[in-house]
């Protein structure tokens, strides 16, 4: 956690104020909603996404404004909503080591809570007449939905190429981190080139982040989660795609058959993991991940040194060096 505290240090004050504003933005007249949102707030993660918003704003402007707090709240509301919905879609009973909303209150309530949080995120921007911020987050929500559906569609056919994989993770994961950074820029420098520059910066960070997540599935780190989950769910990730491309027709057939028909067989899943490692799938994915990281850092090189630039640099490195 030490590295996260270091990243957060230049925006500690803003993050504390943000948490107060964020809690208020989640309030409802319905007691059940408040009980559930209280549960969510008390089990929050590292809050990397709001940190991207504040650090980008401060890198460009030296200080934040009310719009920056609005942007950070919108991002965290939409992110939280997407996690609640993801747990329903994935039939997951745990989130960050705690019971998920659907495990405690069932799917119907979890879906409604996700919808409530989504609507709150949109209303926060409308109430403040921040239509440019609303535009950024609406594009992100559309992309996230399309990315998830594209992944489901391709899982059925198992015909995913490396380019399609990048499209999926760009929409599914990178788009929200891109929204964080463009939101931060837009809050202090609306209509400037920086809004697009930092959208690209966030997207590159998000691409590296998702490839790192995909590597965890091969036991690259001990993260307390079983390996092979993506294979069991028939998700075609970069290490597997690379191994497929390096295989002769017979081996390719065996791999596809393993994922399609034997993805619940522990022994077969382990054989697939071992084969992907043997074909250099992990090394290839690491190379691509570091390319995205270096592109993101190259964007920061265009800005003068500051504690905010140092924190963003630390953040980019943390994305690829994290252990979970």
Alpha helices in the chain (DSSP H): 2-8, 12-25, 31-41, 48-61, 66-89, 101-127, 131-157, 162-169, 175-188, 193-216, 229-232, 238-245, 249-261, 266-278, 281-300, 307-321
Q: Tell me the CA distances in angstroms from 128 to 86, 124, 322, one per residue in order.
A: 29, 7, 36
- Residue 64 placed within a domain: yes
Structural domain for 23, as ranges: 1-319
- Residue 324 placed within a domain: no
Q: Is 1's pLDDT higher than 60?
A: no
Q: Is 223 exposed, middle or buried (0-12, 13-18, 19+ CB in 10 A)?
A: middle
Q: Report the distance separating Cα 80 and Cα 142, nearest Å.
A: 16
- Residue 309 placed within a domain: yes
Which pTM was predicted?
Answer: 0.89
- Residue 268 placed within a domain: yes
- Residue 216 placed within a domain: yes
The tens digit of pLDDT for each residue in 96-135 reads 556 667 766 667 777 787 788 888 888 888 988 999 999 9
Q: Is 292's pLDDT higher than 50?
A: yes
pLDDT value of position 158: 74
The tens digit of pLDDT for each residue in 29-38 reads 878 777 777 7
Confidence of residue 26 (pLDDT cuts 50, 70, 90): confident
- Residue 76 placed within a domain: yes
Confidence of residue 153 (pLDDT cuts 50, 70, 90): confident
Q: Report the distance separating Cα 75 and Cα 157, nearest Å.
A: 33
What's the CATH code of the domain at 48?
1.10.600.10
Q: Considering the chain, what is the average pLDDT of its residues?
A: 86
- Quote the number of domains for the chain: 1
- Residue 115 placed within a domain: yes
């Amino acid at each position: 956690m030490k590295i996260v505290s270091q990243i957060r240090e230049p925006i500690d004050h803003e993050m504390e104020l943000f948490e107060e504003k964020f809690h208020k933005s989640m309030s409802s007249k319905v007691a059940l909603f408040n009980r559930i949102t209280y549960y969510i707030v008390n089990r929050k993660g590292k809050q990397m996404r709001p940190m991207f918003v504040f650090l980008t704003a401060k890198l460009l402007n030296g200080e934040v404004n009310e719009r920056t707090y609005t942007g950070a709240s919108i991002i965290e509301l939409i992110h939280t909503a997407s996690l609640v919905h993801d747990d329903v879609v994935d039939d997951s009973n745990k989130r960050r080591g705690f019971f998920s909303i659907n495990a405690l209150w069932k799917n119907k309530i979890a879906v409604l809570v996700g919808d409530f949080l989504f609507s709150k995120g949109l209303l926060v921007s409308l109430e403040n007449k921040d239509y440019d911020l609303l535009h950024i987050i609406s594009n992100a929500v559309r992309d996230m939905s399309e990315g998830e559906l594209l992944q489901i569609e391709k899982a059925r056919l198992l015909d995913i190429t490396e380019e399609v994989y990048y499209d999926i993770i760009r929409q599914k994961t990178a788009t929200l981190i891109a929204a964080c950074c463009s939101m931060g820029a837009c809050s202090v420098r609306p209509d400037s080139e920086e809004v697009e520059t930092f959208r690209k910066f966030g997207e590159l960070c998000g691409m590296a982040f998702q490839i790192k997540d995909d590597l965890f599935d091969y036991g690259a780190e001990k993260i307390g989660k079983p390996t092979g989950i993506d294979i069991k769910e028939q998700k075609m990730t970069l290490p597997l795609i690379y191994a497929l491309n390096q295989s002769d027709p017979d081996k390719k057939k065996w791999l596809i058959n393993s994922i399609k028909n034997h993805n619940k067989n522990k022994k077969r899943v382990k054989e697939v993991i071992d084969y992907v490692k043997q074909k250099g799938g992990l090394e290839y994915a690491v190379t691509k991940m570091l390319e995205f990281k270096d592109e993101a850092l190259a964007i920061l090189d265009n800005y003068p040194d500051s504690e905010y630039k140092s924190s963003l640099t630390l953040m980019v490195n943390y994305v690829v060096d994290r252990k979970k």
